[in-house]
């Protein structure tokens, strides 16, 4: 069984993430979408359980996806889950340097786990969760970039602010 981990903050999940999940679900037997429990990026807009719920609601059309929360080293989590691949999306050249270093560090930590890079559809190459949050917070239309229920959650979250 070929299992891959697709890690990230998912604050919130976007159509770009979903595009990668759909593509990778055809290449692996199981994809584990792993929500990082790190505080590195400061405070998240959505709680861990909200982020997980939003991912679960977005993947109901896919059969081989599991959603989980992880903390600690990604390679240790991957090994625990019997995964031998980590999926990362590459949107633009600017992603490359950070991703390159992370992939090499992960490989030096656990040689048997490989990082697989995938490109989302070009209509999503300029988006990120932060940009979507910024646009939504200023009342902009993000309907092309997130599922409807995420758009609703963003609206609700910013309505009182
Ligand atoms: N479509 C749209 N946006 C995308 C995307 C796609 N296909 N792929 C990535 N992004 C965006 C994300 O929305 C995120 O945007 P933001 O910065 O505005 O929030 C940004 O790209 C990168 O985030 P993400 O892919 O979620 O990664 P991350 O940097 O938040 O997470 C971890 C990195 C969690 C995978 C990494 O820190 C990790 O492995 N941590 C565990 C500890 C560890 O093992 N450390 C050693 C690593 S060598």
Q: Can you list the alpha helix ranges (DSSP code H) found in 59-120?
A: 74-80, 93-109
Q: pLDDT at position 94, please?
A: 85
Residue 100 lies in a domain: yes
Mean pLDDT over each residue of the chain, to the nearest integer: 95
In the set 2, 41, 126, 149, the catalytic residue is: 41
What is the reported pLDDT for 47?
Answer: 94
Q: What's 85's domain CATH number? A: 3.40.50.620
Flag whether 110 is in a domain: yes
- Tokens 């490109």 correspond to 119
Between strands 3-8 and 65-70, the pairing is unpaired
Q: What is the pLDDT of residues 69-93, one digit of tens each?
A: 999 999 999 999 999 999 999 998 8
Angle at alpha carbon of residue 61, lines to 74 and 13, rounded to 5°: 45
In the reported structure, the alpha carbon of residue 79 is separated from the centroid of ligand 1 by a whole-number distance in angstroms of 19
Does the residue 154 lie in any domain? Answer: no
CA distance 55 to 35: 9
- Ligand 1 mutation pick, 4, 5, 8, max ligand atoms within 8 A of CB: 8
DSSP-derived 3-state class of residue 114: strand
Which of 25, 58, 129, 133 is labelled catalytic? 129
Lowest mean pLDDT among 14-23, 53-62, 91-100, 122-131: 91-100
Active site residue 43: no
Residue 83, helix vs strand vs coil: coil
pLDDT band at 160 (very low <50, low <70, confident <90, very high): confident
Q: How confident is the model at residue 43 (pLDDT cuts 50, 70, 90)?
A: confident
Q: What residues make up the domain containing 112?
A: 3-124
**What's the pLDDT score for residue 20?**
98
What is this structure's pTM?
Answer: 0.94
> Any idea which residue has 């070009």 for tokens?
122
- Count structural domains, the chain: 1
* Cβ 34 vs Cβ 6: under 8 Å: yes
**Packed helices 129-137 and 148-159: angle between N→C axes, nearest 10 degrees:** 50
Residue 120 CB–ligand 1 contact under 6 Å: yes
**Share of residues in the chain with pLDDT > 70 (%):** 96
Residue 138 lies in a domain: no
CA of 33 to the centre of ligand 1 (A): 12
State the Cα angle at 67 between 61 and 71, rounded to 5°: 160
Q: Could you identify the atom of ligand 1 that is nearest to the CA of residue 98?
A: 29
pLDDT value of residue 39: 56
Rounded Cα distance, 124 and 154, in Å:
18
The pLDDT, as a whole number, for residue 41 is 65
Kindly report, residue by residue over 100-151, the tens digit of the pLDDT: 999 999 999 999 999 999 999 999 999 999 999 999 999 999 999 999 999 9
């Amino acid at each position: 069984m070929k299992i891959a981990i697709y890690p990230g903050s998912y604050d919130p999940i976007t159509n770009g993430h979903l595009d990668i999940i759909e593509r990778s679900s055809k290449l692996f037997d199981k994809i584990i979408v792993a929500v990082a429990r790190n505080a590195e990026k400061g405070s998240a807009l959505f709680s861990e359980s909200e982020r997980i719920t939003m991912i679960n609601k977005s993947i109901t059309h896919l059969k081989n996806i599991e959603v989980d929360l992880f903390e600690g080293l990604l390679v240790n989590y991957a090994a625990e889950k019997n995964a031998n691949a980590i999926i990362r999306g590459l949107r633009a050249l600017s992603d490359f340097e950070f991703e390159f270093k992370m992939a090499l560090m992960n490989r030096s930590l656990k040689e048997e786990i490989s990082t697989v890079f995938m490109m989302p559809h070009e209509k999503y190459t300029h988006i990120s969760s932060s940009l979507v949050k910024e646009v939504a917070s200023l009342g902009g239309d993000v309907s092309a970039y997130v599922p409807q229920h995420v758009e609703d959650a963003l609206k609700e979250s910013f309505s009182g602010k």
